Amino acid sequence: MVIGALAGRAAGLVVSGLAGAVAYDGVKRVAQSGAVRSAAVTVTSWGLIGARAAETGAERARLATADIVSEARDKIGEQTPAPGAAADTGHGHEH
């Protein structure tokens, strides 16, 4: 009875070890083939494209908001400051 239990456990360990070895060899082959690097480059390029699209959308939203604020100021009779005029107020010294 004890020998049968030990043989069953040993067989399970052998199968488990074999499966692990096969999985390790598969990962090793994929890593050596350059597929991982190629996939990383592709995913990074998608990320850059998405970031650029987000930047473009944010800039459009900023410009649309600035147009609305300028039109609202004009409507109530305020003069819209020139672009960059707020930055010209300075912070106590020249550059």
70: Cβ contacts below 8 Å, ≥ 6 apart? 80
User: Which residue type does 86 have?
Assistant: A
> What phi-psi label fits residue 46: left (phi over 0), alpha (psi between -120 and 50 degrees) or beta?
alpha
**Domains of the chain, residue spans:** 35-76
> Between these two residues, 6 and 37, which has the higher pLDDT value?
37
Per-residue pLDDT of 35-92, as tens digits, reads 888 888 999 999 999 999 999 999 999 999 999 999 999 999 888 777 776 655 566 6
Predicted pLDDT of residue 85: 67
pLDDT at 4 over 90: no
CB-CB contact of 49 with 42 (8 Å): no
Predicted pLDDT of residue 95: 67
Cα–Cα distance measured from residue 4 to residue 10, given in angstroms and rounded to the nearest whole number: 10
For residue 53, give the nearest of 65, 45, 41, 43 by alpha carbon. Answer: 45
